[in-house]
């Protein structure tokens, strides 16, 4: 698919350079993750540092000043971020998804939008989301947007506003006077835009996924966005967003492994009848850590394999058959990544005794986080859709979840 990208004066940062920046940044983010999650300390600084380092620009084409990276490059980076703090990683999902939407857009104003928003990303902007609502049928919209002179006014409440508390811009959707969905994006400080830290999930507590209130908020005409999702048609952005969740799971499994190794080395002691004098020499501790390691390895491998499938769809001009195959591959990766992360998070407690359950260590966050991410889109539906594809060649649903 040939696309014309505008030339920019910004210096190009390669994917390798971005990973080097991540090498410097992620250890500091990881060191505070367990305490932040335990004490509900929102990671404003961590998200801001990631944006400032330019990690959001991984997929932005070189001619716009980005790194021109592949989907696999982005997903590998996200696994690394999630392996130190899965809350931070998931809070980035709207921002990375917005980039994919810009790349895939074929609307009349797509080129102007790319130029405008890629420039903002290069300046360190963070994008949040205020999409889903509670009440009514799943996916239904009750928020309303109406004309107000040359501009608009929007009223309503949103939930699952992932990352919005950390964002400079918040994207949302509402129904117009003809009951048609209208997408728009607002600056974080717009009068009447109220963001609440009321997300009460047992896991992923710091993703800032709470309520967004739109209290008669003005929406400027230029803040209205042309919708690109056609009913009954799959967009390549959906598999990416679903794979993002799997990448978070893979990162959780890796984080569980890192904590298991650290706990066995620094805190654990052998049980009374162990044959070892050190926990790291206990064969059952070795077995547990090896099991966790294998699951983290498997989760990462399938997620990166599915990322390559999305890259093949892009290379093939987004042919519908390739997009469908990417959706199937992502569904399989989600299933395995979720299973792997949940089991890895459980096995952490087998590397030590009762002390592993101490609140100071907060090791239960891995299972709570993995379980919460897995509940976004139940994995049994993913397996069933893959089975239907294998048995009958039936493409996955175009519900926005495949």
213-263 confidence digits (pLDDT tens)? 999 999 999 999 987 666 678 999 999 999 999 999 999 999 999 999 999
Listed residues 74, 98, 125: the one ending a domain: 125
Residue 171 within any structural domain of the chain: yes
Q: Is the pLDDT of residue 6 over 50?
A: no
* 8 A C-beta contact, residue 151 and residue 183: no
Asked which of 216-220, 275-279, 284-288, 369-373 is least confident by mean pLDDT, the reply is 275-279
Question: CA 158, CA 180: separation in Å to the nearest integer?
Answer: 17
SS3 25: helix
User: Both 154 and 113 in a single domain?
Assistant: no
Only one residue has tokens 């961590």, namely: 46
**143 vs 1: which has the higher pLDDT:** 143
User: Both 65 and 172 in a single domain?
Assistant: no
265: pLDDT confidence band, cut at 50, 70 and 90? very high
Residue 131 within any structural domain of the chain: no
SS3 390: helix
Q: What does the DSSP 8-state code read for residue 253?
A: H
Q: Residue 251 maps to which CATH number?
A: 1.20.140.10
- 235-272 burial, b at 16+ Cβ within 10 Å, e below that, comes to bbbbbbbbbbbbbbbbbbbbbbbbbbeebbeebbebee
Phi and psi torsions of 152, nearest 5°: -140, 165
* 8 A C-beta contact, residue 328 and residue 386: yes
Residue 56 within any structural domain of the chain: yes
- H-helix segments, 267-361: 283-315, 320-347
Residue 152 within any structural domain of the chain: yes
Largest CA distance in the chain: 80
Q: Residue 197 maps to which CATH number?
A: 2.40.110.10
User: Both 253 and 218 in a single domain?
Assistant: no
Listed residues 194, 225, 256: the one ending a domain: 225
User: Both 243 and 380 in a single domain?
Assistant: yes
User: Both 297 and 219 in a single domain?
Assistant: no
Q: Which domain holds residue 196?
A: 144-225
Listed residues 204, 225, 246: the one ending a domain: 225
- Residue 159's contacts (CB-CB under 8 Å, 6 or more residues apart) are 132, 133, 134, 209, 210, 211, 212
Q: What is the pLDDT of residue 2?
A: 35
User: Which tens digits make up the pLDDT trace of 97-124?
Assistant: 999 999 999 998 999 999 999 999 999 9
User: Both 220 and 245 in a single domain?
Assistant: no
User: Both 216 and 98 in a single domain?
Assistant: no
* 8 A C-beta contact, residue 192 and residue 214: yes
Residue 6 within any structural domain of the chain: no
Q: What is the pLDDT of residue 4?
A: 35
Task: Annotate 184-228 with DSSP letters as a single string.
Answer: EEEETT-TTEEE------SSSTTS----EEEEEEEE-GGGEE---
**Alpha-carbon separation of residue 243 from 8, 251, 295 (angstroms):** 30, 12, 17
Question: CA 141, CA 133: separation in Å to the nearest integer?
Answer: 7
29: pLDDT confidence band, cut at 50, 70 and 90? very high
SS3 97: helix
Task: Provide the domain count of the chain.
Answer: 3
User: Both 90 and 170 in a single domain?
Assistant: no
157: pLDDT confidence band, cut at 50, 70 and 90? very high
Joined tokens for residue 163: 């990352």
Q: What is the pLDDT of residue 75?
A: 98
The 3-class secondary structure across 46-70, one letter per residue, is HHHHHHHCCHHHCCCCHHHCCCCCC
User: Both 280 and 354 in a single domain?
Assistant: yes
* 8 A C-beta contact, residue 253 and residue 79: no
């Amino acid at each position: 698919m040939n696309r014309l990208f505008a030339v920019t004066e910004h210096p190009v940062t390669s994917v390798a350079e971005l990973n080097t920046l991540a090498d410097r940044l992620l250890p500091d983010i990881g060191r505070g993750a367990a305490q932040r999650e335990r004490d509900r300390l929102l990671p404003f600084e961590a998200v801001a540092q990631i944006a400032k380092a330019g990690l959001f620009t991984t997929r932005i084409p070189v001619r716009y000043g980005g790194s021109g990276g592949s989907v696999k490059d982005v997903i590998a980076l996200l696994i690394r971020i999630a392996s130190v703090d899965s809350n931070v990683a998931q809070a980035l999902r709207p921002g990375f998804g917005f980039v994919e939407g810009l790349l895939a857009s074929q609307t009349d104003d797509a080129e102007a939008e790319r130029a405008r928003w890629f420039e903002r990303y290069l300046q360190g902007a963070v994008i949040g989301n205020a999409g889903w609502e509670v009440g009514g049928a799943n996916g239904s919209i009750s928020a309303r947007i109406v004309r107000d002179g040359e501009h608009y006014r929007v009223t309503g409440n949103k939930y699952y506003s992932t990352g919005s508390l950390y964002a400079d811009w918040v994207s949302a959707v509402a129904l117009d006077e003809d009951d048609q969905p209208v997408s728009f994006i607002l600056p974080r400080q717009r009068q009447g835009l109220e963001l609440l830290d009321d997300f009460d999930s047992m896991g992923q507590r710091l993703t800032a996924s709470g309520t967004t209130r739109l209290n008669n908020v003005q929406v400027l005409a230029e803040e209205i966005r042309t919708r690109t999702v056609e009913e009954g048609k799959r967009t390549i952005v959906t598999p990416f967003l679903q794979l993002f969740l799997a990448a978070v799971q893979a990162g959780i499994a890796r984080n569980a492994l890192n904590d298991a190794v650290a706990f066995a080395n620094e805190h654990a002691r052998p049980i009374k009848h162990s044959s070892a004098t050190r926990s790291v020499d206990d064969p059952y501790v070795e077995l547990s850590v090896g099991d966790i390691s294998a699951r983290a390895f498997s989760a990462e491998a399938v997620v990166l394999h599915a990322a390559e499938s999305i890259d093949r769809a892009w290379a093939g001009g987004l042919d519908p058959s390739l997009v469908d195959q990417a959706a199937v591959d992502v569904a399989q990766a989600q299933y395995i990544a979720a299973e792997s992360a949940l089991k890895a998070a459980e096995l952490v407690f087998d590397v030590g005794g009762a002390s592993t359950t101490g609140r100071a260590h907060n090791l239960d966050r891995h299972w709570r986080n993995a379980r919460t991410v897995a509940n976004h889109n139940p994995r049994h539906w993913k397996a069933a859709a893959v089975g239907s594809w294998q048995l009958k060649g039936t493409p996955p649903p175009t519900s926005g979840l495949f």
